[in-house]
Amino acid sequence: MIRPAELIERKRDGGRMTPEEITELVLGHTRGEIPDYQMAAWCMAVYFRGLTGDETLALTDAFVRSGSTLDLRSALGRSVVDKHSTGGVGDKTSLVVGPIVAACGVPFGKMSGRGLGHTGGTLDKLESIPGFRVELTTDEFVKQVREVGLAIIGQTPDLVPADKQLYALRDVTATVDSIPLIAASIMSKKIAAGAEAIVLDVKVGDGAFMKSVDDARKLAEAMLELGRGAGREVVCLLTDMDQPLGWAIGNAVEIREARGLLAGEESPPDLFALAVQAAGRLVSLSDLGVDVDEGTRRAERAIDDGSALEAWDKWIAAQGGDPSPDVLPDAAVRKEFAANRDGVVARISALGLGRVALDLGAGRRTKEDSIDHSVGLRCFAKRGEPIEVGQTLVEIHARDEASADNAIEQIGPLIELADESPPPRPIVLETLT
Amino acid sequence: MIRPAELIERKRDGGRMTPEEITELVLGHTRGEIPDYQMAAWCMAVYFRGLTGDETLALTDAFVRSGSTLDLRSALGRSVVDKHSTGGVGDKTSLVVGPIVAACGVPFGKMSGRGLGHTGGTLDKLESIPGFRVELTTDEFVKQVREVGLAIIGQTPDLVPADKQLYALRDVTATVDSIPLIAASIMSKKIAAGAEAIVLDVKVGDGAFMKSVDDARKLAEAMLELGRGAGREVVCLLTDMDQPLGWAIGNAVEIREARGLLAGEESPPDLFALAVQAAGRLVSLSDLGVDVDEGTRRAERAIDDGSALEAWDKWIAAQGGDPSPDVLPDAAVRKEFAANRDGVVARISALGLGRVALDLGAGRRTKEDSIDHSVGLRCFAKRGEPIEVGQTLVEIHARDEASADNAIEQIGPLIELADESPPPRPIVLETLT
């Protein structure tokens, strides 16, 4: 029997724990035998001292073992792919990538989360679609991946309960920001959910969890190692979150944008580039046996030939939603924020715009808040783009005049126009395999 | 209203808290509004980041304000003195100093604690005396200090409940070893208990909490600052705990040694020196208006003229005990550990001998353990003393043969004999005023 206080002390002093000790600690906590206060102290010690690769692997393994796991290969007789983003502003990539990949003939099965603070959540966005059900049972999930080739649902409660419990504790004890703890939390969910090939999108920038490429790389490397340890194919993309991804920030507005891209409508180039690259990677990691270049070509083709849009419609309908964009909720008030000078966009705060959308009601400050699916922003300004005075930079979708005006007031300082173009920064900053 | 998670995060990141924030956090915890897990994470953040002087002062103040406080000056019309030790092996100094100071006409009022692990506790030692009551009410305590001039009791439950609660949490979350947290914990108790002049004995060495003079000095300086902040006269002695203090380690054996010293019997020189210096300091800090030299002379005189022994007998009787040493419990078995060579004592592990005494039953491993007051050790070996082969180094007082033999086996490696004398080290290493 382990003594939690001794393990906390050892970690506090920079010592190492055995895999058995990590397992006992985590599962003891989940069983209610080790109290929250000891786990909180341990997490803070880990915040300062870190975890070794072996410790992180043991932690991930303990999370996975705390609940049930899905074996999608056995269930489908095929390799299923998944994609995860560490969260950002305007990040609707999964909504686009899922249908593209499915259209390429690669089964895509993802369990996703809700938004908190300035970062949106895929489930919240999907719930702007009337009738769409995010809470499927495991059996329904497997069946849909098998028959429709695509499912995105909320995490089932029997998956990684230890992580769920520990994350809730970390959230209120300022111990979320620890790379090994984040890596174990993300990867345990991905591993338990059963996909064999995973593309991880690690966002970097002011609107992301990771503010620097260095930190993002560390997280990516930790996750790659955990994926390898569990026998999964993983690729990490470090992608730019120093400006919102695409134009739309919100829920219904993002669903429109995602579907618009698949429908071949005019779309934000950064979202298009990321979606095609991520989808191309997933296709190349799948059991189709093609390389990245061929995967990327197939992804582009799926958009061009309408098969990705078809996959979208089929998927939305399979989960009970109405795939027509006409049924999406519209905000009562629309206002525009225009440029007050000529110039080039030098800087846009993703964090700032995420907060404006949050204020409009598109997100939740606390887990208990409810979301207004109709509100949000469309920010057409993109770093490096030339702008003319009077040009619409942001379209505000608000529930009333007052909140629209309030948003406009806040937006001013978030978009900086200058005479000189900033150095270019691609959407995909690095790819780690 | 403060947000605990934000305060934890700020401390984690090395930021400062306002006095109001510290107060709200601590008192919120005591009221049960802030959960243990948040306080545990905060304490671990404090372990790594420390507290500023102002933060430590606010913490101490919050502890004091969490319960009732004693105003001994108003109650007695005089300044009362107190002494505290950070804990060691064989430390019966308070038992000797109290009667000496009382004999000098200085009222001595102390609330004390119990032992845990290898360190003994004054209350446990006093409870070897048949009939002795350590649990007095506040009124009884004040009355006894007024009428008898001396009382040592257990901390009353209405004093510093916030510290009590937080200490229990720190104890199981590996967050005890933080200098500002220790300083605030000790000083809040001393301040609330009402003494105006306090001598703090900060032990340094393998048997003490502080292993280095540097750390001990930091703790001493933090406590001096807190004492000054509360308007108390405080002197800190840094004293040697690289070997046990005096000869006896246990409970009844230490009571015998303390009383023996006061009775003018042959006594360990280190204990005698420390007792006289500490008592001298207290007399000089009291309202008698004498300097340290005169205080020390009066302390020595009180031993020589028998008035300190008289004060002892009066005190023990006042708290219901039988002052005669004959009534103290005796262990069933006595064995001796002898030197296996000629030489000089090069090293004695205070920690090691403390653990042997603990194994004999003189201490408690967990708070729930009970103590055997009769058992213990008397270690006559003192660093630097010449030893002849066959000479008794340690006398073991055990409850049975087996535990005595077990003790003898353990003692061997704890006392090192060499050819050369180690460099001398006085009992009082430094005095901070």
Catalytic residue among B11, B84, B92, B125: B84
Which residue from A38, A45, A173 is facing B5, i.e. has the nearest CB? Answer: A173
> What pLDDT was estimated at residue A369?
82
Give the CA radius of gyration of chain A. 22
- Percent of chain A with pLDDT strictly greater than 90: 89
- The answer to whether residue A44 neighbours chain B at the CB level (below 8 Å) is yes
* pLDDT for residue A118: 76
- Interface mutation vs chain B, best among A49, A171, A173, most B CBs within 10 Å: A173
Q: Kindly give the parts of chain B with pLDDT less than 50.
A: none
**In this predicted structure, what is the pLDDT of residue A366?**
77
**Total-model pTM:** 0.87
Query: Is the Cβ of B167 closer than 8 Å to some Cβ of chain A?
Result: no
A367 pLDDT band, cuts 50/70/90, is confident
Tokens representing A57 are 């692997």
User: Cβ of A5 and B174 within 8 Å?
Assistant: yes
Mean pLDDT across A101-114: 92
Percentage of chain A modeled with pLDDT above 70: 100
Show the tokens assigned to A280.
Answer: 């191309």
Among all residues of chain A, which has the CA nearest to that of B36?
A: A37
Both tokens of B5, joined, read: 């998670």
Question: Is a pLDDT exceeding 80 seen at residue A336?
Answer: yes
Contact A79, A197 (CB under 8 A): yes
Q: Is A174 within 8 Å of B37 when comparing Cβ atoms?
A: no
DSSP code of residue A207: T
The pLDDT of A239-246, averaged and rounded, is 96
Residue B290: other Cβ atoms inside 10 A: 17
Output the pLDDT for position B313: 97
Note whether A327 contacts B: Cβ–Cβ < 8 A: no
pLDDT at B368: 78
Q: Chain B residue closest to A176 (CA)?
A: B9
| Residue B266 structure tokens | 């042959």
Please state the ipTM of this predicted complex.
0.86
User: CA of A306 to nearest chain B CA: how many angstroms apart?
Assistant: 48
Q: With residue B337 as reference, give the H or E element that holds it.
A: strand B333-338
- DSSP H or E run through B149: none
Strand A415-418 with A343-348, pairing: antiparallel
Q: By C-alpha distance, which of B78, B66, B55 is closest to B28?
A: B66
Interface with chain A: mutation pick from B37, B166, B178, highest number of A CBs within 10 Å? B37
- What is the C-alpha radius of gyration for chain B, rounded to an integer number of angstroms? 22
Contact B254, B376 (CB under 8 A): yes
By C-alpha distance, the chain A residue nearest B176 is: A9
- Tens of pLDDT along A136-168? 999 999 999 999 999 999 988 899 999 999 998
How many angstroms separate the Cα of A416 from the Cα of each of A207, A337, A376?
16, 13, 20
Residue A28, chain B, CB below 8 Å: the answer is no
SS3 B22: helix
pLDDT at A231: 93
Instruction: Please give the angle made by the CA atoms of A122, A124 and A130, to the nearest 5 degrees.
Output: 115
Amino acid at B355: R
Predicted local confidence at residue B366, as pLDDT: 77
Give residue-wise pLDDT tens across range A337-347.
Answer: 999 999 999 99
Distance from CA of B309 to the nearest CA of A (A): 44
A41:B174 CB<8 A = yes
Which of the following is catalytic: A170, A298, A364, A373?
A170
Taking CB atoms and an 8 Å cutoff, what residues of chain B touch A8?
A: 44, 173-174
Which of B281, B335, B224 shows the shortest CA–CA distance to B101? Answer: B281
CA A44 to chain centre: 25
Q: Which residues of B touch A44 (CB under 8 A)?
A: 8, 12, 40-41, 44-45, 48
Helix (H, G, I), strand (E, B) or coil at A419: coil
Interface test with B, best of A17, A44, A181, A367 (most B CBs within 10 A): A44
- Would you call B116 an interface residue with chain A, using a CB distance cutoff of 8 Å? no
Angle at B72 between CA B71 and CA B73, to 5 degrees: 95
Nearest-10 crossing angle of helices B292-304, B307-318: 80
Determine how many CB atoms are found less than 10 A away from the CB of residue A412. Answer: 10
Predicted pLDDT of residue B365: 80
Where would I find the beta strands (DSSP E) of A232-323? 233-240, 248-250
**Closest A-chain CA to B6:** A174
Q: What is the pLDDT of residue B284?
A: 96
Of B88, B114, B94, B87, residue with least CA distance to B351: B88
Q: Measured between beta carbons, which residues in chain A are less than 8 angstroms from residue B169?
A: 37
Distance (Å) from the C-alpha of residue B27 to the closest C-alpha of chain A? 18
Rounded-to-integer distance, Cα A150 and Cα A136, Å: 13
- Could you give the count of Cα atoms lying within 13 Å of A182 in the half-sphere of its Cβ? 23
Per CB-CB distance under 8 Å, the chain B contacts of A175 are: 41
Question: Quick check: A169 contacting B, CB < 8 Å?
Answer: yes
Residue A2, pLDDT above cutoff 90: no
Point out the residue among A6, A36, A45 whose CB comes nearest to the CB of B37.
Answer: A36
Q: Please tell me which residue in A66, A85, A94, A185 is annotated as part of the active site.
A: A185
CA angle B215-B218-B221, nearest 5°?
150
